[in-house]
Structure 1
Amino acid sequence: MPEEDLVELKFRLYDGTDIGPIRYSSTSTVAMVKERIISEWPKDKKIMPKVINDLKLISAGKILDDSKTVAQCKPSFSEVSGVITIHVVVQPSSAKAKSEKKIDDTSKKTVCSSCSIL
């Protein structure tokens, strides 16, 4: 594989620690990258992703789409030479369900039934 087809990525976790740098082919999808992150995830962390949907990868302020390749995401970090740092946000499925339930509960509580117009 030619050297220019490889992109070196490092992943910054929520606590400031890093995974990598790891070299990826420019044809690798973001979903494939997420699978590798999960397999390399430090075992001593309290928060651990179980599936790729538990992870969000952020580069240059944009969330990377699972179906896109590294080459398609490259414009967001095209001016960078060397190792590219991507931020990793973990939100396990159970936490998503709880936060969605809270949103639903708050919308029900905001109904005002005691107002009267004089």
Structure 2
Amino acid sequence: MAGSEQRVELKFRIFDGTDIGHSTYASSTTVAALKDRLVSQWPQDKTVIPKSVNDVKLICSGKVLENNKTLAESKIPFGDLPGGVITMHVVVQPPVARKKTDKNQEEVPKLKMCSCTIL
């Protein structure tokens, strides 16, 4: 069955227009596996370098792909582009450190209140 699995040729474009990770991938490949490969192949001469898979977002056809889904579940167009390459955009977005003001706001208990106006 693995021999009949659909494959798609993908390349990944980063913020400065550089393409990385150009290869053919099986439809059962997870988005997390793609991200892991991208992080390991990331060019070290760039100003922005992801530290982990969680710092990377993949965008295909205007949709951010979820880590736990496969390429097939993400509705990547297999076979729609004979001999074509699908380009996915890569966004590096490291998690933002929480500010002290956010922490203080969480400690304040929220008041349950309702107000209605009848005209």
Give the shorter-chain TM-score range: 0.7 to 0.9
The structural deviation recorded for 1:80 is 3.8
What pairs up with 1:65-84 in 2 under 5 angstroms?
65-73=66-74, 75-77=75-77, 79-81=80-82, 82-84=84-86
8 Å contact from structure 2 (residues 57, 91) kept in 1: yes
Q: Specify the alignment match of 2:97 in structure 1.
A: 97
Instruction: Report the Cα offset of residue 72 of structure 1.
Output: 1.1
Gap runs ≥5 in structure 1: 108-118
How far residue 102 of structure 1 moved from its aligned partner, in angstroms, is 9.6
Residue identity opposite 2:6 in structure 1: D
RMSD of aligned alpha carbons: 2.5
TM-score by length of 1: 0.73
- The CA deviation at 1:77 is 3.6
The number of aligned residues is 101
Q: How far off its partner does 1:4 sit?
A: 5.3
Q: Which amino acid aligns with 2:25?
A: Y
Residues 57 and 87 in structure 1, CA contact (< 8 A), matched pair in contact too: yes
Which letter maps to 1:68? Answer: K
Q: Give the deviation of 1:2 after TM superposition.
A: 3.2
Equivalent position of 1:60 in the other structure: 61
Alignment gaps of 5+ in structure 2: 106-119
Name whichever structure is richer in helix by fraction. Answer: 1
